[in-house]
Amino acid sequence: MRIFHVITLSSVGGAQSVVVNLANAQVIEGNEVWVVSSVSGEAWKALRPEVKTIGIRQLRRSIGWRDGIVLLKLFYYRWKYRPDVVHLHSSKIGALGRIAFSPRRTVYTVHGFDSIRVANRSFLPVERFLRRWCAKVVGVSRYDERNLIAEGIKEKVTYVYNGIDDKSVMDIAKLDSTVRHTMEEIRQQYDKVIVSIARDDKPKKIDLFIETARLLPEYGFVWIGNNRKYEKGENVFLLGQIPLAWQLLEYTDMFVLPSNYEGLPMSIIEALAFGKPVVASNVGGITELLDGRNGFAVENDARVMADKIRYVLEDRERYAGMSQAARQTYLEKFTVERMVEGYDSIYRDIIRG
């Protein structure tokens, strides 16, 4: 089977992580797999060498005149390579790709429908107009599936949970020694270390992270992925962009993700795989990840978040139980094998016509 994964950006992110995990698993199964995106970026360094990539220089997140060139190139790739399945990821390429490729061959995954439904409602008419221009529209959670249907996108809708390889057992020698040393120093300073791995762009609430840390000065708080500087307390460490940042989870006790909206965050799944309890904002599909045994989905209030962090970390027996439950949640629901099975079933239906 020749599979095309098409996504807008090649920078590191949750949707890109899904593409990497799918492409790597599918190429191992003997498929010919291509990844099409903006010019080659950090995310594709994790692809297996057998996965082929195409960079489109004109492809941007913003809408502009270059999109006409992108559309022509997508038509050209459809004609030249004749993929058996085209899998579109993210809203912008989801629109361009549904125009360019055969609807009978196309799957469109919405990586967090609230990014449209809540943050960019002006794009909803486009989603509704194009709802029949693919074989399947896929949400990454039941929450997304329900909201797609509620917004009038009812035809051929389903969901497939995100999944990842078991990173907790992977070789972690690639991590930069300087970064490793920094984390070791933070661990020596603080009895407990809480980490968040996320860009500091619109969906995330790094301000809430810093405010929560102010209420818990006895703990070290580490944010990985920020591009900007912020006023912060002495117990907050902003480490910036770090490739393969999930490797730092071995140095942490807990994962925190404050957000305005989410799909099904890969960073939380990574933390669960490492057996790290999680406190995160009660948005998107996060309640489908956290059930009170492995962590908590809470309102965006610093005191509430701080109380839950303290509740988890202050009792050693409770922490051990939640850590075990976190690991078990990953193994039962969010492995890459389960995600691949879900999409393989959709692909088979497409091939059968």
HEC-encoded secondary structure of 121-189: HHHHHHHHHCCCCCCEEEECCHHHHHHHHHCCCCCCEEECCCCECCHHHCCCCCCCHHHHHHHHHHHHH
Q: Do residues 183 and 307 share a domain?
A: yes
How far is Cα 27 from Cα 165, in angstroms, rounded to an integer?
Answer: 15
Q: Do residues 223 and 348 share a domain?
A: no
Number of domains in the chain: 2
DSSP per-residue letters across 188-222? HH-SSEEEEE---STTB-HHHHHHHHHH-TTSEEE
Q: Do residues 182 and 140 share a domain?
A: no
The type of residue at 132 is R
Tell the residue number behind the tokens 């920094």, with chain if given.
Answer: 182
Q: What share of the chain is helix, strand, coil (3-state, %, to 5)?
A: 45, 20, 35
Other beta carbons within 10 angstroms of residue 54's beta carbon come to 15
Q: Do residues 80 and 65 share a domain?
A: yes
We report the CATH number of the domain holding residue 138 as 3.40.50.2000
Taking CA atoms, 214 is separated from 297, 303, 312, in Å, by 20, 10, 18
**Burial of 178 by CB count in 10 Å (0-12 exposed, 13-18 middle, 19+ buried)?**
exposed
Q: Do residues 242 and 217 share a domain?
A: yes
Q: Do residues 68 and 99 share a domain?
A: yes
Taking CA atoms, 353 is separated from 83, 105, 106, 135, 348, in Å, by 14, 9, 12, 10, 9
Q: Do residues 234 and 314 share a domain?
A: yes
pLDDT of residue 241: 87
Structure tokens, 127: 């989603």
Q: Do residues 189 and 268 share a domain?
A: yes
Domain that holds residue 78: 2-164+335-352
Q: Do residues 175 and 112 share a domain?
A: no
Q: Do residues 29 and 102 share a domain?
A: yes
DSSP per-residue letters across 67-95? HHHHHHHHHHHHHHH--SEEEEESHHHHH
Q: Do residues 111 and 195 share a domain?
A: no
How far is Cα 255 from Cα 277, in angstroms, rounded to an integer?
Answer: 6
Q: Do residues 27 and 138 share a domain?
A: yes
Question: Would you write out the chain's pLDDT as a tens digit for each of its 353 residues?
Answer: 999 999 999 987 889 999 999 999 999 999 999 999 999 778 898 899 999 999 999 999 899 999 999 999 999 999 999 999 999 998 999 999 999 999 999 999 999 999 999 888 999 999 999 999 999 999 999 999 999 999 999 989 999 999 998 877 665 556 667 888 999 999 999 999 999 999 888 889 999 999 999 999 999 999 999 999 999 999 999 999 887 888 899 899 999 999 999 999 999 999 999 999 999 999 999 999 999 999 999 999 999 999 999 999 999 999 999 999 999 999 999 999 999 999 999 999 999 87
pTM score of the predicted model: 0.91
How far is Cα 41 from Cα 80, in angstroms, rounded to an integer?
Answer: 24
